Amino acid sequence: MNTEALLPGLNHTVRGSECAPEITEDYRETLNKLVLTHQNGVTHFLGGPLDLDDDKKVWLSPVGVDDGETYSYFQLIYVNTDPLELQDDPASVPASLLEVDEAGYKLTPHDHPGYTQLMNQFSGKMKQVLVRHCNSGMAYYPRAITPTLDKMTIDAHLDRVVSVLGIREPEVSITLSKPSDAEEIDLSANVLRATHARKYAFRGAEVHSYGLVLDDDPWKYYEVFTPHPVEDMPKEDVLLRVDSGCDIGQIFDDRGCDCREQLHTALSEIQDIGTGAVIHIPAQDGRGFGAATKMETEGMKRGIEVATNLGNAVPYDTITAAQVLLGDEFDIRTYSGAGRILSMLGIRSVFLQTDNRLKAEGLSEGGISVTRKPTNTTGVRGAENHIAAKHRHNDIYYGDED
Ligand SMILES: [Zn+2]
C-alpha cells in the first residue's frame, strides 16, 4: 500500500475523534434515557428490534466502550430474545462473534456467500447473541468513531464487554467474508490515499471500493464506490450519490427502510452509464444521530416505547419518532466531507441523486455545482410506509434516509 499522501487532507491513521459536532444538552439527555447499563467504561444501550420476515425475531443493542484513550462500538444482536429478557441471566444463551466485510456486504448482499449464513443465524427458534465490532455508526457515543484500532485493543474492549455485561465468551466466529471475486487494488497508482481499496462484482460488473479517512471530519470514515479506477473519473457532470449508511437496512436486511434500495439503485444507474460515484458515509446511520437513538425509533415505529415510556399505543412513523426523541433538529448530518472528497478528485459539477435538498446545499457550499436528481425508490421490500412518511413530512424534513 502506498503510504505517501498524494493529496492533502486525507490521513491514514486516526485516533478517537476529537471533532465530533457539538450536541445539545437535550440530545445528551435523550441518550442517557436510552442507556440500559453503564459500568466500567461499557455503556449498553437498550436498542430496538429489526423488522425482518415474520418468523425472525432479532433485536440490536449498541454497546460503547471507552477505556479513557480509545473508543469502540459494538453491536449485540439478540436472536429470539432481547436484552431485557436476558438481564438476569445474560450468560444463559450462547454468544458468537460476527464479522462482516461491511462494504462488500452492503454492495452485494444477495450474491454474498455470507447472506444465507446470516439469515440462517436469524432463523430457527434458538436464542443466541451475536457480537459485532463496528468501525463506525455510533457517531455520538461515547464520542465519535475509531476506524483504525489495532486488533489487540479491539480484543481488549471485547473482553471488557463480555465481563461487564456477563454474556458468554464467544466461542464461535461467524465471518461474512469478502465475496470470492473481491480483490485488493494496488493503491500505488491511485490519486487518493485510502485505508483500503478493493474490487467487487455488483450485478455482474466491477465496482471499485476505496475506504477513506478524513481525520478532522465529524463522520471521519468514507467509502467511495466507482465503476472504474477513481483516477479515471471525469471532472464535470458526474452522476453522484451521497449515501448515509444504514446497518439494519443495508447489512441485516431490515425491510422497514429503503436504504439498500437507494444504494443499489444509484450504483445500477452509475454502472449503466459507465461512470459516476457513490460516496458512502457509514457513520451517518440514523440521520447522523447514531445507532442508540436509531434503534429506539425503530421500536417506536412498531409501537414499542421502552425508553421513552410515552404510553402511546399508536406506532409513530419514522419522522415523528425522531422528533419525539430529539426535537425538530434531529437530522444532524453534514456533507462538507463529501464535498472535500469531490474537490480532491477534481470534480467540479455533479448530478446528485437525492430527494434531500440539504445534501445538495452542503455540496454547493463547498463550491461544487449541483443539479438534483430524484432517487425514485419505491420501497420494493416493504418500505412503502417509510417512504410515504418521509414525503408526508416534507414541510419540515427533506431527508431521504432512514
Ligand atoms: Zn435504513
Helix (H) or strand (E) holding 96: strand 95-100
- Residue 85 located in a structural domain: no
pLDDT digits (tens, 9 = 90+) for 375-388: 666 555 556 666 66
Q: How far is the CA of 169 from the centre of ligand 1 (A)?
A: 30
- Residue 356 located in a structural domain: yes
Residue ranges with strand state E in 258-355: 277-281, 349-353
Q: Tally the domains of the chain.
A: 1
- Residue 30 located in a structural domain: no
pLDDT digits (tens, 9 = 90+) for 212-242: 888 778 888 889 999 999 889 999 999 999 9
Q: Which pLDDT belongs to residue 244?
A: 92
Q: How far is the CA of 402 from the centre of ligand 1 (A)?
A: 4
DSSP result, 29-46: HHHHHHEEEEETTEEEE-
pLDDT digits (tens, 9 = 90+) for 115-143: 888 888 888 889 999 999 987 766 555 45
Q: How far is the CA of 54 from the centre of ligand 1 (A)?
A: 18
Q: How far is the CA of 298 from the centre of ligand 1 (A)?
A: 10
Nearest to 297 by CA among 48, 51, 54, 79: 48
pLDDT digits (tens, 9 = 90+) for 273-327: 999 999 999 888 888 888 888 898 888 887 776 655 555 566 788 888 888 888 8
Q: How far is the CA of 302 from the centre of ligand 1 (A)?
A: 15
Task: Tell me the pTM.
Answer: 0.86
Q: How far is the CA of 187 from the centre of ligand 1 (A)?
A: 31
> CATH no. for residue 234?
3.40.50.10990
Q: Which pLDDT belongs to residue 181?
A: 73
Q: How far is the CA of 258 from the centre of ligand 1 (A)?
A: 6
- Residue 243 located in a structural domain: yes
- Residue 167 located in a structural domain: no
Q: How far is the CA of 40 from the centre of ligand 1 (A)?
A: 32
Instruction: Cis check for the bond before 218: say yes or no (omega within 30 of 0).
Output: no
Give the number of residues written for the chain.
Answer: 402
Q: How far is the CA of 164 from the centre of ligand 1 (A)?
A: 30
Q: How far is the CA of 268 from the centre of ligand 1 (A)?
A: 18
Q: How far is the CA of 176 from the centre of ligand 1 (A)?
A: 20
| pLDDT mean across residues, the chain | 81
Q: How far is the CA of 257 from the centre of ligand 1 (A)?
A: 5
94 touches 133 (CB < 8 A): no
Q: Which pLDDT belongs to residue 173?
A: 87
- Residue 262 located in a structural domain: yes
- Provide, for the chain, the percentages of residues in helix, strand and coil under a 3-state DSSP scheme, each rounded to the nearest 5: 30, 25, 45
Q: Which pLDDT belongs to residue 156?
A: 96
Q: How far is the CA of 250 from the centre of ligand 1 (A)?
A: 7
- Residue 259 located in a structural domain: yes
Structural domain span for residue 353: 183-286+326-392
- Residue 400 located in a structural domain: no
Q: How far is the CA of 231 from the centre of ligand 1 (A)?
A: 30
List the grid coordinates of 357.
435538498
